[in-house]
Chains A and B, each alone.
Chain A
């Protein structure tokens, strides 16, 4: 759990700053608890899976009861382990995409900001071009053409989702680059790679985390949207696919749509809260900052 402590620049009785800090931490706390719960669920699902998820031993379309709290689907499967397993699959995709886009965004952003010149212009151009590609449609198309393989999906979303992070990291790097401690490191003979890893990275990381969490929440929704359109792998039912399979049964079985959707909303909300809390906590003025927020809403 991340708790942000800020130096006491403001007077201790500065109410606005205090409520601001509390609110930031409240968002972060809720986000942290939600994320931990979801991750615990996701990690425990292989254990649950030992009781076969696809065990078709229940009545078909049974409404939620004490024994089957999430009800059963049309294949006589218990919805609870299915939803938990869905969380795991959705989170796997997100972890993969976020890892890829974070690596790209951090590396390119820091490189562009630190080196400047041709490298900088190149990275900025590349970002603009990448941004013009409609991610959702392209992924939809490729998944249809080559089959909905998990790795293709992760790779495509990863290489199209790094631009905002790179932009933010570049700007942060630019402001750090000319600080005395970087000059000191350079004067002491440290190499560029070492300066970037040891000195620039820690300074840009907090702002980067705001964007990384948001990218995660966007990717969950994109993946779910694609799965909803039928691009999911039916052997690996993600949350979006579960919501989609509920569509023909809306009239008879509301629980088929409700629980996977709730789980999906919980994943997205926790990531959004984490990002929002971090953004507030990092804002030294303790006020809303439209530029940051507007940027955050355009991931």
Chain B
């Protein structure tokens, strides 16, 4: 295959994957549009809120073109959303896009930390297990991973609260940082936030560590049966180096796939974990919106999270294609 066609193939692959983003966005738009209209009652009232003033309801009717035929309404709705106008939250009285941006930071901090922790933990544990297959350590790690994978996160969180917070007092119970203890800047604040972060991140990362450990272990064991590993061993490469330098590269492939598919779980996990630890992120926002029936806010969160998850999936796929040329050429 010539260099030129190789480049074209890669471009085609990237374009094919990138095209999935607008398709997904369109699907989600159809779903949210359907949800607005499937709610019993006048959609204008549903969007503006039950206690809205008649003039506000009329304004919503105008803005969304709700007196137009359904097809036209959908186009109006989709254009509004694509321009970044996700509507106004009537409980907070602010643009939904703004609100989501404000609440996204703690959630990003939480999920990103959990991802880093689970990558480190999963790779280390998978490594430790695969070094001596069928040893006590391997069996222990494998069993623990299966168990950890089966535990409901919110329950683990409660057990942590019971023992580590209420009994031993090691960690703060709720929130993002202590309020009223000095200025919210500087190293002290960072340590404070980190201290509040430990338990939510541990709970959120537990399942992911378990999943990654199992994949890294299985991947290493599979690779260690390959001919190139025998070659490396025969050349006298030390056992640990065979794993870390030779086999591990190939294990990165399933790890990348797994991360891509698990981003969605991480987000839904974060919603639950945030609500237990009163972490001021998207989870609390969506629950508040749900309780007060704030439809624009709920749909906005649904839309933003779907897009974020899809984009992450596409990015991991592209990374995969970059690591493994067989994918983009196949």
Q: Which of these binds chain A: B6-14, B85-93, B148-156?
A: B148-156
Do the beta carbons of B158 and A268 come within 8 Å of each other? no
A202 within 8 A of B: no
Is the C-beta of B214 less than 8 angstroms from some C-beta in chain A?
A: yes
Determine the chain A residues whose CB is within 8 A of the CB of B31 once the complex forms: 133, 138
Q: A141-B290, A290-B254, A294-B215 are in contact. Are A225 and B301 (CB under 8 A)?
A: no
B residues neighboring A (CB under 8 Å): 20, 23-24, 27-28, 31, 35, 39, 134, 146-147, 149-155, 158-159, 161-162, 166, 211, 214-215, 217-219, 221-222, 225, 251, 254, 257-258, 261-262, 264, 267-268, 271-272, 275-276, 286-287, 290-291, 293, 295, 298-299, 301-302, 305-306, 309-310, 313
Across-interface contacts of B251 in A (CB, < 8 A)? 290
Contacts of A291 in B (CB 8 A): 254
A86 to chain B, nearest CB (A): 13
Q: Which 4 A-B pairs have the closest CB atoms?
A: A298-B261, A261-B155, A288-B218, A136-B268
Q: Is the CB of B152 within 8 A of A133?
A: no
Indicate which residue in A134, A142, A258, A293 contacts B218 across the interface (CB closer than 8 Å): A293
Q: Given A228-B154, A229-B271, A294 and B257 touching (CB < 8 A)? A: yes
CB interface residues, A 80-117, toward B, < 8 Å: none
Does A243 lie within 8 Å of B155, measured CB to CB?
Answer: yes
A133–B217 CB distance below 8 A: no
- Do residues A290 and B215 form an inter-chain contact, with CB atoms below 8 A? yes
Asked if A132 and B27 sit within 8 Å, CB to CB, the answer is: yes
Residues from chain B with a CB closer than 8 A to the CB of A235 are none
Among A137, A146, A268, A294, which residue has its beta carbon within 8 angstroms of that of B305? A137
Which residues of A are found within 8 Å of B147, using beta-carbon distances?
A: 269
Report how far A128 CA is from B197 CA in the complex, Å: 34
Pick the contact of A144 from B150, B257, B290, B313 — CB < 8 Å?
A: B290
A224 within 8 A of B: yes
Known: A145-B39, A272-B150, A293-B215. A257 touches B27 (CB 8 A): no
B166 and A250 contacting across the interface, CB-CB below 8 Å: yes
